[in-house]
Structure 1
Amino acid sequence: MVLILLPPSEGKTAAEKGLPFELAELSFAELNGPRQEVLAALANASSHPEALALLGVGASLAEEVERNRRLEAEPSAPAHTVYSGVLYDALGYASMTAAQKRKADAAVVVISALWGAIGFADRIPAYRLSMSVGLPETGKLAGYWKKHLPAALDDRADGQLVVDCRSSSYAAAWAPPAESTVAVNVVQERAGKRTVVSHFAKHTRGELARHLLTRRGKAPATPEALLKAAEEKWRAELTPGTGRKPHALSIILEG
């Protein structure tokens, strides 16, 4: 089976009703202690007079920061419903068949500043927290989770092809085995010149995740097989990794 790593979305779609999340029901129970620490640190930071500055957000997000203070009582919903935005719209979980949804629930792991790592079907509330933030009790969250994620994720990645669709700040929190990991890059080519366009990168990574989850046939088990799967929809190139650097799949968009 392939393991698809996604970043969370900055914006979240809050559940309108439903039970609060249960820590014991989340994937990767090894992370529950660190999760409790970050939950408490986030509630404290969100109650601070300078909460917006601490969390690196503007006044328009004050209501979301206020929600951070009561996450353990907020309604929750599956992560694939709460996370929204460009990448998740392109992934299109809601329009998948039941079998494809089960495949997505098994294959997708979201790396999160609050939860560390979360399964796609895990119930969570909407929250506001970025991996680039440093909380007083934890320090920078990428560094905090880097200490805790290997215990939970190294076994999960063992024997899998890891398709890494994370942005750089989330990639810093955990490094899967380089020899079996492919980092997904998206470039736009115009008049022979290639540039990175973040909006299209998010969208295309979501499309790639959907393609891998909905296409017929076996899931790719090697970087070369992933390249062939990508070439079913796009022009793509594979740069082999080194001992410490993962392989890189570049999807090339025209114009």
Structure 2
Amino acid sequence: MYHDNHHGRVPGLGRTLIKVPVPETVNPGHFVLDGGSPGIGHSVWLPPAGGPAAPAVGESELPTWALMRIAAQFLPDGGELGVVHGPGPARTALDVIPTDWAPEWMNHSTLVHGAEPVRGLDAALVIADPLEYEPPATPEVAAAYFRALSGGVRPGGVVLVHTHQATDQAGMLDPSGPYIQAARHAGLGYLQHFVIVHTRLLAEPLSARDHAERNPPRHAKTQPRHRRVHSDLLAFQV
């Protein structure tokens, strides 16, 4: 359930930000394995065998299990997590809405908006999945966004950005590089690029299931819609 706070957002960050009291992770090793997976680096996050794969936030493909790992890895003792859309113009017009599959602690969020700067965050998570027909944020807009957001995070805290590749009329779009440049220009220290693997490759096909009968032409221009194989999590330090 949201609790309204009308004095908690820097203008330019977007419509709303939710402030989530993340509890202490009782068993961090369940989410963050000390030994990792054989042949897999710690910067590659594999989906757990039985973890919830559904998105944790509306208008995003961030899996619920990945959000739980974010909490375990970056806030193992608990803390205040700010979740906000951005930095693109279509993103900042959206409200942050947890899905039915989000962790229970997301239901205790405080909805913050208004003209006063948000303070006291231990970490911030930016939902930056590309939206269809969204123009990319200019470097100046993105840098101003990250600069404003970092003001609400305590020194030594982290700013995380979730995004992924997309295809538009110009071809393949990979926002990670421009976001890293913009965040560094805003004074954030670049820590790590994590790869979140979505598809359990040994158990799930890459093509989404489609039971419709069809006889595609020999040289069809459209390709089958593929599952999201991976997304990107960029980590910065304030």
TM-score (norm 2): 0.26
TM-score (norm 1): 0.25
Higher strand fraction (1 or 2): 2
Higher helix fraction (1 or 2): 1
